Structure 1
Amino acid sequence: MKLSTILNFVILIFFTLLFVNDFFPDTAIAAMLTKKIILLILVGLVIIQLAFDKGRYKRLSKKAYIGLTLYTVGLWIVLTLLGGQSQIGLSFTSPLFYIIVVLLGLDLIRLSRQTKRDQTEEKAK
């Protein structure tokens, strides 16, 4: 397995821990790993990832973008349904949630149109 893939997976794990820590601040995990520590680890991992990629810009595939978006929104919903309450105000019943979902939907539509346009240009060549 490539180091880049492992780093991405570890970043996703710490991102999930950050969400769990926000929704359930009184758990044992939250006592051991505070939000500041998790954020420092995430920043460090992202810096390592950027250094590993040597400044090359890698665009996320459409599938990966959709998967990451659905994972984040799904995590948000599941943690709320499990009885967690976000310390920074994220909640399933918040208008901010619906605004973000609409914006992500519009961005996915934009990405889909861009992909179709790129495929059409490739066929024309």
Structure 2
Amino acid sequence: MRLSTILNFCIFVFFTLLFVNDFFPHTTIAEILSKKIILLILVALVIVQIATDKGRYKKLSKKVYVGLTIYTVGLWIVLTLLGGESQIGLSFNSPIFYIIVLLLALDLLRVYRQSKREQSEEKAKQ
């Protein structure tokens, strides 16, 4: 398995742990790994990821971008429905939630339209 794949998976796991730790701060995981420790690990993993890419810019595929966006919002919703309460104020009652969901929806619409435009340009070339 490639190092970048392992790093991406670890970043994904620690991002999820950070979310869970925020919504359920009194669990065993939260006592073992505080938000500060998880955040430091995330920063270190991102720095290692950037260093191993050696300056090469990798654009996320549209499917991965859409998947990560839906995962993040879905995780937010599921953790709230499980009875968790965000320590930083992420909730359905917060106008920030609706602003973020609206912005994400608009961004996903932009990505979809860009994909359709690229497909039509590709067909025109053929």
* Fold shared per TM-score above 0.5: yes
Residue in structure 1 matched with residue 81 of structure 2 by the alignment = 81
**Partner residue of 2:72?**
72
Alpha-carbon distance in 2 for matches of 1:120, 1:54: 34
Q: Given that residues 76 and 92 in structure 1 are in contact (C-alpha distance below 8 angstroms), is that contact kept between their aligned partners in structure 2? A: no
Counterpart CA distance in 1 for 2:40 and 2:55 is 21
TM-score of the pair, normalised by structure 1: 0.93
How many angstroms does 1:94 deviate by? 1.9
| Helix, strand or coil at the partner of 1:86 | coil
CA contact (8 A) 1:11 1:42 kept: yes
Q: What amino acid maps onto 1:19 in structure 2?
A: F
Higher alpha-carbon deviation: 65-74 or 109-118: 109-118
Match of 2:60 in 1: 60
In the other structure, the counterpart of 2:99 is: 99
Find runs of 4+ consecutive structure 1 residues off by over 6 angstroms: none
- Aligned-partner Cα distance in 2 for 1:33–1:68: 23
Once the two structures are TM-superposed, the CA of residue 34 in structure 1 deviates from its matched residue by: 0.6
The aligned residue for residue 47 of structure 2 is 47
> What secondary structure, in the 3-state scheme, does the structure 1 residue paired with 2:83 have?
coil
Deviations 1:38-73 (A, max 9, x none): 000000000011111111111111110111011101
- Percent identity over the alignment? 78
CA RMSD of aligned residues (A): 1.2
- Report the TM-score, using the length of structure 2 for normalisation: 0.92
Cα distance in 2, alignment partners of residues 92 and 15 from structure 1: 20
- Offset of residue 124 of structure 1: 4.2
Q: Is residue 14–residue 42 contact of structure 1 (8 Å, CA) maintained in 2? A: yes
CA distance in 1, matches of 2:84, 2:113: 37
Take 1:55 and 1:117, find their aligned partners in 2: how far apart are those partners?
A: 29
Counterpart of 2:15 in structure 1 is 15
